Amino acid sequence: MGKSKLEYLWLDGYTPTANLRSKTKVEEDFSGKLEDCPVWSFDGSSTKQAEGGSSDCLLKPVAIYPDPARRDGYLVMTEVLNADGTPHESNARATIDDEDDDFWFGFEQEYFIMDKATQLPLGFPVGGYPGPQGMYYCSVGGKNTHGRAFVEEHADLCIDAGLNFEGINQEVASGQWEFQLFAKGAKKAGDEIWVARYLLQRLTEEYGYYIEYHPKPIKGDWNGSGMHANFSNTTLRTAGSKEVYDTICEAFRPVTAEHIAVYGEFNDQRLTGQHETASIHDFSYGISDRGASIRIPIITVEKGYKGWLEDRRPASNADPYKVAGRIVKTVKGAEEKI
């Protein structure tokens, strides 16, 4: 069978915003199966996850995908463990309480494509600004659309890797785009976002770009970037009751601070009550309301309150594991009152 290249991916210990790290392990006669990916190690002292005198951390494989850009390649998402095999404190995936995969998540990942030469979003001229917002969202044509070839290539990579990739669109600001992913299982949803981010960031190396996940990289009258979290579980998918939905939504109100704490750094610059956001200081929910903290989709209502909810607060730089874990905890707490 020859040799295969396994790219092990993990999250480092930088806080509050972790970074992706990766390195390649070459395996002979590899089966392509997760169970045949060995536990590996890395120098945690170089990633703020260990001290130099005892620097080994372990990488536990948790998901595997074919790497469409490398011959005989695989992408291996991992959890970081301490040397004794316990979850590292930076390992948010291990804290998610969804072992039966009852929770389904659809994340909408927004981001800006930045030109390395100018350090500005695509479409922004040096020393000035492009035309105002209005014509960029879902636009077509060279005047308002910037980066399509890059975005299309990323979509192909994600699909070829076997991710449950659901769509792309240009967003409200110039050079701002979004992709959507869906997964059954909170942990799997986090895995897929991180692998898609890895493919996105690696692709920039070929274009002279970089990705900006800051939720408000351009100040002023420009939309920020979020990672809207659409979520459901058996209760939400089958409730058939406005009262059940109200109870679950209200359960988010007293733990607003706990959610905001894991919804991304600099999110206060984005959640201002403008540009399709609710204020970071408030909590609200409403039917088809994109200015609310939590939106109840009109489709959910039309189906008799059987569907999902959308938490619009997570920032583009948030860790999907932390977002999903916090939402699962809040919903499960609400179910005890139903």
Could you tell me which CATH number the domain at 3-95 has?
3.10.20.70
C-alpha span between 242 and 248 (Å, rounded): 10
283 φ, ψ to 5°?
A: -135, 135
Please give the class, per CATH, of domain 105-225.
alpha beta
Identical topology for domains 3-95 and 231-338 = no
Q: Using an 8 Å Cβ cutoff, are 177 and 122 in contact?
A: no
- Tell if the pTM clears 0.85, that is, is over it: yes
* Domain 231-338 falls under CATH 3.30.590.10: yes
Domain ranges of the chain: 3-95, 105-225, 231-338
pLDDT digits (tens, 9 = 90+) for 47-77: 999 997 889 999 999 999 999 999 999 999 9
Please write down the HEC assignment for all residues of 159-201.
HHCCCCEEEEEECCCCCEEEEEEEEECHHHHHHHHHHHHHHHH
- At 126, is the secondary structure helix, strand, or coil? coil
pLDDT band at 14 (very low <50, low <70, confident <90, very high): very high
pLDDT band at 275 (very low <50, low <70, confident <90, very high): confident
C-alpha span between 337 and 290 (Å, rounded): 27
Instruction: Compute the mean pLDDT over every residue in the chain, rounded to the nearest whole number.
Output: 97
